[in-house]
């Protein structure tokens, strides 16, 4: 399955400026909708034991629910303390109202 497009979630389950969790082949993935586009990252924060899908999306930024560290959902870049390590991002595509994610080996 790695490197293949895998179904993640229906597009209508993710509201604008929101995030939803999706478990894909045992991976915890967060699916975002921002400015009409879809993005995907690992769901687990790189700082601690928290899931970004429980955080808040502001524009193209996700704020972690535990210590309010921020990541860019387009690039995965860590934007504010206490996070310093980027979050892994994945390609997404929209087809027939469904979001697909391309996982890859790291």
Q: Using CB under 6 A as the criterion, which residues of the chain lie in contact with ligand FES when the complex forms?
A: 45, 47-48, 50, 64, 66-67, 69, 82-83
Give the C-alpha distances (Å, rounded to integers) separating 70 from 53, 82, 85, 94, 96: 13, 8, 11, 25, 31
Pick between residue 87 and residue 99 the one whose CB is nearest to ligand FES: 87
Pick between residue 10 and residue 84 the one whose CB is nearest to ligand FES: 84
Pick between residue 59 and residue 82 the one whose CB is nearest to ligand FES: 82
Write down the least CB distance from residue 13 to ligand FES, Å.
24
């Amino acid at each position: 399955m790695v490197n293949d497009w895998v179904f993640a979630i229906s597009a209508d389950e993710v509201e604008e400026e929101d995030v939803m969790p999706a478990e894909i082949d045992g991976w915890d993935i967060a699916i975002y909708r921002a400015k009409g586009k879809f993005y995907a990252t690992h769901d687990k924060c790189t700082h601690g034991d928290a899931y970004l899908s429980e955080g808040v999306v502001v524009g193209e930024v996700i704020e972690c629910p535990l210590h309010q560290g921020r990541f860019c959902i387009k690039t995965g870049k860590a934007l504010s303390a206490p996070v310093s390590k980027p979050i892994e991002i994945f390609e997404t595509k929209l087809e027939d109202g469904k979001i697909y994610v391309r996982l890859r080996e790291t």
